[in-house]
Chain A
Amino acid sequence: MADALLEVRGLTKRFGGLVASDDIALQVAEGETLAVIGPNGAGKTTLIGQLSGDLRPDAGTIRFAGQDITGLGTPARSHRGLARSFQITSIFRDFTALDNVALAVQAHAGHSFRFWRPAREEAALREPARAILERVGLGARADVLAGTLAHGEQRQLEIGMALATRPKLLLLDEPVAGMGVDESQRMVELLRALRGHHTLVLVEHDMDAVFALADRISVLVYGRVIASGAPEAIRANPEVRRAYLGEEDQA
């Protein structure tokens, strides 16, 4: 994997005495879907935070598309092609669904020091946004206030906003969290459709979703990657079963 799209080395993050990320190494090739799994408190969200730029690692490097992005902030990483969705739905609740996606388009359509022309009348922002809403299955809900969408729809909108930034890689933080069976099936379908066109890093609790989507799985326990490999290998790995899957069985 000489030309990995995302390459993480030695990533370490401490909060006081707690080592939330302990010398993490990850590689994601272009077009691949990597799932990061692990029990609660394994440091999955901390990892996502460092990849997206919200948290600064104490040590280690993050290389993306051949460049070191460890020192870049969140907006700069977005412009390099790294997009994320949030574990807890994060949208512009008092704007319409279309506005939400159009804002993401706007962020990548030149500067916004434009004071005169109404943004809602700019076809260059609205048309791509409409197309993306169709793609994530919200075409009919374009003019609904985002805050009043159903939970599952809001999660779809999150994916839409991430897509609107034309990312090379999508970081998905528990995309099916808190969803009912139908909603989560629809989301898995949506993500499956993205797999061919996008590189995905998926942090997820839901094993059905993980095994339905992942090309490779990395298992995180107490901030360390204890195993990485194909889904079948991970399923069979005794250490993983003990640390994680076994725990799930008991629950």
Chain B
Amino acid sequence: MDSRARAIAVGVGFVALALVPALAAILNQPFYLDLFRRIMIFAIAAVSLDLILGYGGMVSFGHAAYLGLGAYAVAIPAFYGVQSGVVQWTLAVVLSGVAALLIGAVSLRTSGVSFIMITLAFAQMLYYLGISINAWGADDGMRLAQRSQFGGVLDLANPYVFYYVVLAILAVLLWLGHRLIQARFGMVIRASRSNEPRMRAIGFSTFRYRLAAFALAGSVCGLAGALLTNQTEYLTPSFMHWTRSGEIMMMVILGGMGTLFGPVLGAIALLLLEDILSAWTVHWQVVLGPILVLVVLYARGGLWSLLPDGARGDG
């Protein structure tokens, strides 16, 4: 089922991402290292959203909540002197996973517009919680004194090391995702999106599988949040703002819902466009908006579908 063109595109894409640090060094433009690391972090968040949005048909409009929880899970221990990356990142994954489990347990009892609104409401609740806790910086946020520490093994203060750590996490995530969507679990998630009453009639208690997918997506996004605070070396509750949720959702739609690599493409396209357009004019959003509208109108399956044989997805 894997088409050659798509396999080549994925291969080329990964080689290109792996070469970014070298190119940035040659061109003496360290900014690009920073930009692409940021892009990959958002790609991780977008891939996690696509698991529930694209494959599972769960239109969560509050995915940034888990990004924020992951960020707090790094910044708060750091604030109290716990710099261990193992502790911080594990906390990020567990905390956001548990939060997603609770939020999902309530939200998944609704569907359609109610589901969109309730996930949005939970995320906004966490956002307002974030801006109201003065001890942890309220709406100013907190500076991260140093990036997560991994003994002597990995030094994230080194921008190249940090870059390749993010690239490796993205690659592993895509590989695991590829297995998961083909496995029994993935079949259940995808078929539930296709026809949930039918799934129940043939004997699947769909709720528990959908909830598991929701929690899994939340915990992966929490890891992206942990990476994001390390990237910005700053924590701000605005990581959880609803516009951020919208941005991640846009990446998924732009790149191609229900495909594995589409959201990566979407993250690259959206953040590059943002970067290029904002250098050109302060009113860059006026230009970005119509471009997004055009893509949604004329490339229904997203950018990924523009590749030969990409329309069928990769499941």
Contact = CB atoms under 8 A, between A and B. Distances in A.
Interface of A: 52, 54, 73-76, 78-79, 83-84, 86, 90-95, 99, 103-104, 106-108, 112-120, 122, 161-162, 164-165
A95 B180 CA distance: 17
Interface in B195-212: 195, 197-206, 209, 212
A237 B204 CA distance: 42
A94 B54 CA distance: 14
10 contacts: A90-B197, A93-B195, A95-B190, A106-B188, A112-B185, A112-B188, A115-B185, A118-B183, A119-B184, A122-B184
Contacts of A74: 200-201
Contacts of B204: 75, 107, 112
Contact of B203 (A94, A108, A113, A118): A108
A108 to B, nearest CB: 6
Contacts of A122: 184
The 9 A-B pairs of least Cβ separation, nearest first, read A78-B203, A107-B203, A118-B182, A112-B184, A114-B184, A104-B202, A74-B200, A92-B194, A75-B205
A6 B118 CA distance: 41
Given A75-B203, A162-B202, 16 more contacts: A52-B201, A54-B197, A75-B200, A78-B203, A83-B201, A92-B198, A95-B194, A103-B199, A103-B202, A107-B203, A107-B204, A113-B209, A113-B212, A115-B183, A118-B183, A120-B182
Contact of B183 (A54, A91, A114, A161): A114
Nearest to B312: A94
Interface of B: 176, 179-180, 182-188, 190-191, 194-195, 197-206, 209, 212
B186 A91 contact: no
B209 to A, nearest CB: 6
Contacts of A91: 195, 198
A114 B184 CA distance: 6
B228 to A, nearest CB: 26
B198 A119 contact: no
Nearest to A78: B203
A162 B40 CA distance: 45
A94 B203 CA distance: 20
Given A78-B201, A78-B202, A165-B203, A95 B182 contact: no
A116 B179 contact: yes
B187 A90 contact: no
Contacts of B187: 99, 103, 106, 112, 119
A164 B191 contact: no
**By DSSP majority rule, is chain B's interface helix, strand, loop, or mixed?**
helix
B202 A107 contact: yes
A99 B182 CA distance: 12
B203 A79 contact: yes
Contacts, number: 95
Interface centre among A54, A75, A78, A164 (most CB of B within 10 A): A75
A92 B198 CA distance: 8
A116 B184 CA distance: 8
A90 B195 contact: yes
Interface centre among A104, A112, A120 (most CB of B within 10 A): A112
Nearest to A92: B194
A92 B204 CA distance: 14
A115 to B, nearest CB: 5
Contacts of B190: 95
Contacts of B185: 112-115
Interface centre among B188, B206, B212 (most CB of A within 10 A): B188
Contacts of B184: 106, 112-114, 117, 119, 122
A91 B194 CA distance: 8
A6 B114 CA distance: 38
Contacts of A113: 184-185, 209, 212
B219 to A, nearest CB: 14
B203 A117 contact: no
A7 B204 CA distance: 25
A119 to B, nearest CB: 5
A119 B203 contact: no
Contacts of B203: 75, 78-79, 104, 107-108, 165
A106 B204 CA distance: 9
Contacts of B179: 115-116, 118
B188 A90 contact: no
Nearest to A75: B205
A119 B182 contact: yes
A185 to B, nearest CB: 26
A233 B200 CA distance: 38
Nearest to B179: A116
A174 to B, nearest CB: 15
Contacts of B206: 75
A108 B187 CA distance: 14
